[in-house]
Amino acid sequence: MRFFGRQDKELYLLLNESARVVLRGGEILQEVVYDYQDLELKLAKLTALEHEGDRIIEELVRRLNASFILPFDREDAFALVQSLAVVLDYITGIIDRMILYKAGEPDNRVKEMVEVLLEAIKLQEKAFNLLNKVEQNKNEIIACCEEITYLERKQDNLYRNGLAILFENENDPMQIIKWREIYEHIEMAQDYVQEVAELLSGIVVKYS
């Protein structure tokens, strides 16, 4: 079965572009945790990315509502778009809280959590780039999704262990509150990447 026809090629390109925007957001987050300088400037870049992502989503929704030939069910497409947007929202929220809370420079635990998140986002973008030939690439797409699932479990362990260490070693209740919420945002971003992976896996099974 041919996954994309001429009339819906633009939908595929827009989905790809949306995944690329999320990846760029993850890279900005990585820059923040490894170079804790010029935070307002980095947040401004991320906010601009959010606007670009919103523009892409608006165009996707417009085309989904207008197209008669679609890459896959409208419900699946809408769910993918919404989950990608939420991932970017949480990435922005991580940096926003670092700035608002003045939590201080991220430690190695936060850096490791961000690395795991970014690795999953890279796999997410790779999977989107393979969707144009779903039958040919289905095994590779599924492999990306399975690796994302592994990373989600790894992130869950990092999150729980990080909280345990935070409560054990930090004496300032305000610092505990600040970092707990930052940890939670990283973990929630990872959860939504996992949600995207589950949607992609379902699409591959359904349409290949």
Query: Is residue 68 in a domain?
Result: yes
**pTM, rounded to two decimals:** 0.91
Q: Is the pLDDT of residue 70 over 80?
A: no
Across the chain, what does the average pLDDT equal? 88
The structural domain count of the chain equals 1
Task: Outline where DSSP puts E strands in the chain.
Answer: none
Query: Is residue 1 in a domain?
Result: no
Q: Is the pLDDT of residue 5 over 70?
A: no
Q: Which residue has the tokens 């390109």?
A: 13
Give pLDDT tens digits for 109-165: 999 999 999 999 999 999 999 987 778 889 999 999 999 999 999 999 999 999 999
Query: Is residue 51 in a domain?
Result: yes
Q: What is the CATH number of the domain that holds 39?
A: 1.20.58.220
Query: Is residue 38 in a domain?
Result: yes
87 vs 7, 146, 167, 204, CA distance in Å? 28, 18, 27, 21
Task: Write out the residue range of the structural domain in which residue 96 sits.
Answer: 6-207
Q: Are 113 and 183 in contact (CB under 8 A)?
A: yes
Q: Which residue has the higher pLDDT, 7 or 142?
A: 142
